[in-house]
Amino acid sequence: MTKGNTTKITDELYRYMLDHNPPLDAIQRGLVATTYAEFPDVAGMQSAEEQGPLLAFLVRLTGARHIVEIGTFTGFSTLSMAQALPKDGRLVACDVSEKWTAYGREAWEAAGVADRIDLRIGAALDTLRAMPAEPHVDMAYIDADKQNQIAYWEELVPRLRPGGLIVTDNTLYHGTVLDESADPDSATAGVRAFNDHVSADTRMESVLLAISDGLTLSRKRVAVAVSVAPA
């Protein structure tokens, strides 16, 4: 096996990358700073700074109007995607914490996109199962408990329109995905099982990228009509 890219991402190179990406606006940057100040022990759950512009880029690239987010935390990723939605777009944000998402609510209001975000507190699987069963979701972002990722996937894929996109975070999970002896109930085992499940799903085409802690982009295949000439 030949690894094509051996670039080591130093702090200086990381800063260079951020400097050549779309900058965070004042509200985004304030939310990132507040998250690290208020929740230092779990701030790593926040999507990486470079993922905000990437998610916004993907929203615009796909023309998404209806987004589902599994795992909102303090709302940085939510804010980034909502800002890229058209004014009549809608983002259903799923989380279990009123405390964490309260910071997001404040930022969404300040950014003028709160009317595009439907925050639903409770088990995400219940929220997904209550949605219409037919394809209507343009884009989804999965960044929540790793043991339930396959279940989230299986609820989302049938509801995803052809050509729609699922973005899944932490699919390298700090490098622990190489650990074949991981406890079956652990997050590592959950991510390993999810990655295998995704790569074997013929309904989707997927790529796993070494972005931040691993990011998988999955597009729902578009059925191709086959015409049969009359006998």
Confidence of residue 7 (pLDDT cuts 50, 70, 90): confident
Nearest to 190, CA basis, from 176, 200, 204: 176
Residue-averaged pLDDT of the chain: 94
State what percent of residues in the chain have pLDDT above 90: 92
Is residue 227 situated within a structural domain? Answer: no
Tell me which of 4 and 112 has the higher pLDDT.
112
Is residue 87 situated within a structural domain? Answer: yes
pLDDT at 225: 56
Is residue 225 situated within a structural domain? Answer: no
Q: Mean per-residue pLDDT for 170-180?
A: 95
What CATH number is associated with residue 180?
3.40.50.150
pLDDT at 8: 86
Q: Mean per-residue pLDDT for 59-67?
A: 98
Q: Mean per-residue pLDDT for 58-82?
A: 98
pLDDT at 129: 97
Is residue 166 situated within a structural domain? Answer: yes
Domain count across the chain: 1
Q: Using the predicted structure, report yes or no on whether residue 229 has a pLDDT greater than 90.
A: no
CA torsion angle for 35, 177, 142, 61 (degrees, to 10)?
100
Domain limits for position 71: 11-220
DSSP for the chain, written as a single string: ---S------HHHHHHHHHTSPPP-HHHHHHHHHHHHH-TTTGGGSPPTTHHHHHHHHHHHHT-SEEEEE--TTSHHHHHHHHHS-TT-EEEEEES-HHHHHHHHHHHHHHT-GGGEEEEES-HHHHHHTS-SSS-EEEEEE-S-GGGHHHHHHHHGGGEEEEEEEEEE-SSGGGGGG-TT--TTSHHHHHHHHHHHHHH-TTEEEEEE-STT-EEEEEEPPPPP------
Residue 137's CB: how many other CB atoms inside 10 A?
25
pLDDT at 223: 79
pLDDT at 227: 55
Q: Mean per-residue pLDDT for 43-71?
A: 96
Q: Using the predicted structure, report yes or no on whether residue 226 has a pLDDT greater than 70.
A: no
pLDDT at 122: 97
Q: Using the predicted structure, report yes or no on whether residue 91 has a pLDDT greater than 60.
A: yes
Confidence of residue 169 (pLDDT cuts 50, 70, 90): very high
Is residue 58 situated within a structural domain? Answer: yes
pLDDT at 204: 98
C-beta separation of 88 from 64 below 8 A: no
Q: What are phi and psi of 179, to 5 degrees?
A: -85, 100
Is residue 5 situated within a structural domain? Answer: no
Is residue 35 situated within a structural domain? Answer: yes
Is residue 132 situated within a structural domain? Answer: yes
